Each structure stands twice: as C-alpha cells, then as structure tokens.
Structure 1
Amino acid sequence: MAKKTKAKTVKKTVKAKAAKTVSKTVSKAKTKPKITRREYTKEDVKELRAHSKAKTPVAKIAKLTKRTVGSLRQKALKLGIGLGHQR
C-alpha cells in the first residue's frame, strides 16, 4: 500500500515540475520586445549619409539610431551610399 502512495506523489511532483518549466518558457516569450517599423525621416537620412562619409561601423550606427543592421544596409542600398563591407 505504501508503494502506491509513493508512486502517486512522484507522479504529482513530476507534473508540477513540468508545469513550472512550461510556465517559465511562456514567460520568456512575453519578454521579447515587439518590433515596430519606423519611417526614415530626412534627419535620419542625413545622419546615415554623415556616418557613411565618416566610415562609422554599421554596428555602431545601429546602436546610435536604434535600428537593425539589416535595416540600415537596405536604406543605404536604396540611397546608393556605401556602408560596411560595401565600400
């Protein structure tokens, strides 16, 4: 009889641990920042051209402008200016 109750408590603890790990993964997904699109203003374009002339690394420009490296590269491509390895 003691074995049955022991087995039940083991099953309960396993289920409880599984529930905790699931709740942790769900909470991590909620903390991911949502990506919002922002239009490039005339000032942003001027700043990008200035950084291109100064040969500032793309990663540094990305941090300063709070934009992704890919976004900056695409905009520079459309403007016909070089960034990073494209110079």
Structure 2
Amino acid sequence: MKAAKTKKRQRREWSATDVRDLKRHSKAKTPVTKISKEMKRTIGALRQKALALGIGLGHQR
C-alpha cells in the first residue's frame, strides 16, 4: 500500500510591506479571516507574527 502524498508547505519570509500591512489591519481591527485571505497566509501565521510584533489582531473582547 502506498502512503498518501502530503503537500509540503513553502515558507515565505515576512517583507517590510507585509509587516506594514499587518500593522495597518491591526489598527483598523480588520477580522483575521479577511486579513488571511488578502495576505494569503494562515490565521496561525498572522497571530504568531502579531504576537512577535507586540500588536493585537482582530477584535478584542
């Protein structure tokens, strides 16, 4: 029996433009799902980068 092939994810570096856009979305309190689709990054990746930058993401309760 053959093992199912899994797609290897390619890591993409965060450019200065990406960081600037993330900060702009943070200030505007844009929903994380919308940011994820626009930037073509996972929600987890966005949250990890925001945590590293010390900024909030999405709405806070």
Q: TM-score, normalised by structure 2?
A: 0.83
Aligned to 2:14: 40
Corresponding position of 2:38: 64
Runs of 4+ in structure 1 over 4 Å off: none
- Alpha-carbon shift at residue 34 of structure 1 (Å): 3.4
Q: Deviations over 1:13-59 (max 9, x none)?
A: xxxxxxxxx8xxx7xx55x6431100100000000000001100001
Q: Percent identity?
A: 65
Higher relative contact order (CA 8 A, sep 6+): 2
* RMSD across aligned positions (CA): 1.9
Q: Aligned partners of 1:34 and 1:65: how far apart in 2?
A: 19
Stretches of structure 1 that go unaligned for 5 or more consecutive residues are 1-21
More helix by share: 1
| Alpha carbons of structure 1 residues 33 and 78: separation in structure 2 relative to 1, 3 Å | same
Report SS of the residue matched to 2:19: helix
The number of equivalent residue pairs is 61
> Which runs of 5 or more structure 2 residues have no equivalent in the other structure?
none
Q: Distance in 1 between matches of 2:54 and 2:14?
A: 15
Rg larger in 1 or in 2? 1
Give the conservation status (yes or no) of the 8 Å contact 2:26–2:56: yes
TM-score normalized by structure 1? 0.60
